[in-house]
Amino acid sequence: MTQTTRRAVIDVGTNSVKLLVASVQGQTVEPLLEKGEQTRLGQGFYETHVLQPAAIHQTAQAVADFTTLATQWEAATVRLIATSAARDAKNQQELVCALHAVSGLTVEVISGQQEAEWVFRGVAADPKLRGRRVLILDVGGGSTEFIYGEGLHHTFQKSVPMGSVRLLETLRPLDPPSLADLAGCRSWLHSFFGREVTPALEPFLRDGGRASTQLVGTGGTATILARMAGRLREFDREQIDGTRLTRQQILDWMVHLWSLSLASRKKIVGLPSKRADVILMGTAIYEAVMEQIDFAELSVSTRGLRFGALLEG
């Protein structure tokens, strides 16, 4: 029998820092503790590609707290990974040194390709998806990953430098957003995906491939869409995992969210108040992908990058 080990991973993203402590046996990951803290590492980043001191400090504090928690939960190993904002930063070493100083851990700044591989591995390890043909869409704060495959093997992966925080800082809609803001965002996304993703992905989906493929969303935006649809005030893995959302539902949510002020969005059940700004872009990204690649339904997965990192050992 494969030995069971308790492992932890701290994931430093563009928008938030997240901790997962889990029991790992073979290809099975059983979460024991999950925490998240929005530190907005990518705040004010995309004009200069320099991480701001306040964002680095907040991120380091969250990493310090999560390192302590992982130790308290007796994790045999603790892995510290960083994604889009860290890998694009001109002052990456400043962040790496700050995180090492508070945690004693070596920071792994992973590539977009590595991120996509771990996302696929984490999602595909779900027993409900084993053997299924899937297109996984992971919308992060600074990047978005597309991974297509079947079983435990993927045949296509692409990480693009576009996410909810990056797009918010690029487009800067009014509060509340105008109709022109929404139209401009949709036009921008249509052009971006048409240039960066659709031509490369289309060969895998034609000739019946699309009909037999399940679109799976993972990451913060997908989870929040499921929470809003289910009116869930707190994160509840059992209720969120496997939630099915139609393209029409996501379109309706997009139109509704873009019609509200930031203060009004903060009152929506299931939408964490600190994510009420970036949810505009996250929802628009999902709607654009489903419209352009022609998928009628999205299945939400609570697994992904952190699960894949733990399976790696």
Chunked mean pLDDT (size 10), the chain, 313 residues: 89 96 94 95 92 97 98 98 96 98 97 93 88 93 94 90 95 98 98 94 86 94 97 94 97 98 98 97 98 95 95 82
Q: Beta strands 77-82 and 144-150: pairing type?
A: unpaired
pLDDT for position 206: 86
pLDDT for position 169: 93
DSSP 275: G
The CATH class for the domain spanning 129-307 reads: alpha beta
DSSP 268: S
Rounded alpha-carbon distances, angstroms, from residue 179 to 175, 199, 252, 268: 11, 29, 14, 21
Domain ranges of the chain: 5-110, 129-307
pLDDT for position 1: 56
Q: In what order do the strands lie in the sheet with 77-82?
A: 28-38, 16-25, 5-12, 77-82, 107-109
Comparing CA positions, the residue from 251, 281, 236 lying closest to residue 31 is: 236
Euclidean distance between CA atoms 236 and 287, whole angstroms: 24
Euclidean distance between CA atoms 172 and 301, whole angstroms: 29
pLDDT for position 207: 77
ω into 176 cis (within 30 of 0): yes
Euclidean distance between CA atoms 252 and 170, whole angstroms: 24
pTM of the model: 0.93
Select from 3.90.25.10, 3.30.420.40, 1.10.420.10, 3.40.50.2300 the CATH code of 5-110: 3.30.420.40
What are the residues facing 25 on neighbouring strands?
A: 28
Euclidean distance between CA atoms 80 and 15, whole angstroms: 16
Q: Beta strands 5-12 and 16-25: pairing type?
A: antiparallel
Q: Beta strands 214-218 and 5-12: pairing type?
A: unpaired
Angle at 154 between CA 83 and CA 152, to 5 degrees: 100
Amino acid at 222: A
pLDDT for position 189: 98
Domains 5-110 and 129-307 share a fold: yes
What is the gyration radius of the CA atoms in the chain, in angstroms? 19
DSSP 151: T
